[in-house]
Amino acid sequence: MPEGPELHLASQFVNEACRALVFGGCVEKSSVSRNPEVPFESSAYRISASARGKELRLILSPLPGAQPQQEPLALVFRFGMSGSFQLVPREELPRHAHLRFYTAPPGPRLALCFVDIRRFGRWDLGGKWQPGRGPCVLQEYQQFRGILDRWHPKDALPPSKAPSRTRRAKRDLPKRTATQRPEGTSLQQDPEAPTVPKKGRRKGRQAASGHCRPRKVKADIPSLEPEGTSAS
């Protein structure tokens, strides 16, 4: 979505691209756009732009001797989600060029187009900035900074260094001494309590307690046959 810096760059693009161009004829609007018609027609006029915040103002200024005679016209654009300005050949208009300004002969046949794919962009006649907007961060930085200082004083801690809720709770609690601790809360084992042997691993491995499980020894079974009675 175009923000303040993008509109500022768009105004610079219009001023640089259209500085040496002379436009003429009517301003053409696409049939699918819901924005108002631009009632402007001149045989020769120039286009300049300026930006403030998320708005861009386009000024159409007729040249001396241009016909019909009329006053300059200003348009204020809001780019919405996908608005932009493009300078293209007249025979290669973009698909979503909803407002078109054509150059006058004998110069190159070009068109300055307001392109908006999502169709959320708007333009208004009169050239007045939208009321109620705050100062521009690029052109009115000191006023913009003053508003931020009222919201976030300089003596306040930044959000990243502010103590957490858990730290504040621990800081406000008094420290307990050893005599104030309740009985039965110590993790040390009572020396008089019987020890529970720990289970070791199988296959004769040493248990975790350090004791080895005794192995079963197969006793030698004496022969039941008396001596000398062998079948051999």
Residues 29-33: contacts with CB within 8 Å, 24+ apart?
A: 29/98, 29/99, 29/100, 30/97, 30/98, 30/99, 30/100, 32/98, 32/119, 33/98, 33/99, 33/119
Can you tell me the distance from the alpha carbon of 55 to that of 78, in angstroms, rounded to the nearest whole number?
Answer: 5
Q: How far apart are the first and last CA of the chain?
A: 107
* Dihedral, 11, 15, 21, 27 alpha carbons, nearest 10: 30
Quick one: how many helices (H) and strands (E) in the chain? Answer: 3, 9
141 and 87 Cβ atoms separated by less than 8 Å: no
Peptide bond into 68 cis (omega under 30): yes
17 and 9 Cβ atoms separated by less than 8 Å: no
Q: Which residues are catalytic?
A: 2-3, 54, 181
